């Protein structure tokens, strides 16, 4: 069986994709992949997702330069997810300029921003 057929694609043909920093172990992002995105990720060794907002393939870093080199690709038991160990170019995974998308932590009954903005998003997307 083709390895892509073993992925439990959901009703929209998607699988959740968790990117984890290979060096620090930090979980950087949760994004989505369709079959084409996962195939291209495996083939090129760089993370490719499906952008649900733009409705097209999203070659991570194509605008920001913050590509993710994939060191390892894992599949879970049944919860519709793959796990990527990545090397994060620029050390920034999030479009907000944070290292990771999970920059807010629950403290009591408030989400508190605990991580710094490493680079102004305007500088990431408009000044290259």
User: Interface with a copy of itself by CB under 8 A: which residues?
Assistant: 2-3, 6, 16, 18, 20, 25, 27, 29-31, 42, 72-81, 83, 94-96, 98, 101-106, 109-111
Query: Which contiguous run of DSSP H or E holds residue 68?
Result: strand 68-75
Measured distance CA(31)–CA(35) in Å, rounded: 14
* In the complex, minimum distance from the CB of residue 109 to a copy of itself, in angstroms, rounded to a whole number: 5
Q: State which residue, 31 or 67, has the beta carbon closest to a copy of itself.
A: 31
Q: State which residue, 18 or 89, has the beta carbon closest to a copy of itself.
A: 18
Longest pairwise C-alpha distance within the chain:
49
Sign of the Cα pseudo-torsion (84, 88, 94, 98, in order):
positive
Q: Which two tokens stand for residue 67?
A: 């590509």
Q: Which two tokens stand for residue 5?
A: 């057929």
* In the complex, minimum distance from the CB of residue 76 to a copy of itself, in angstroms, rounded to a whole number: 4
Sign of the Cα pseudo-torsion (1, 50, 78, 73, in order):
positive
Q: State which residue, 56 or 110, has the beta carbon closest to a copy of itself.
A: 110
* In the complex, minimum distance from the CB of residue 102 to a copy of itself, in angstroms, rounded to a whole number: 4
Q: State which residue, 36 or 72, has the beta carbon closest to a copy of itself.
A: 72
* In the complex, minimum distance from the CB of residue 7 to a copy of itself, in angstroms, rounded to a whole number: 9
């Amino acid at each position: 069986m083709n390895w892509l057929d073993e992925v439990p694609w959901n009703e929209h043909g998607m699988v959740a994709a968790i990117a984890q920093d290979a060096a620090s172990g930090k979980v950087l992002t949760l994004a989505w992949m369709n079959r084409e995105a996962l195939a291209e990720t495996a083939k090129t060794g760089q993370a490719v997702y499906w952008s649900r907002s733009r409705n097209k393939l999203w070659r991570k870093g194509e605008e920001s330069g913050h590509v993710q080199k994939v060191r390892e690709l894992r599949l879970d038991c049944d919860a519709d997810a793959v796990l990527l160990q990545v090397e994060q170019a620029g050390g920034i995974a999030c479009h907000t300029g944070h290292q990771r998308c999970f920059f807010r932590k629950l403290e009591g009954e408030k989400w508190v921003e605990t991580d710094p903005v490493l680079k102004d998003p305007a500088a990431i997307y408009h000044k290259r």
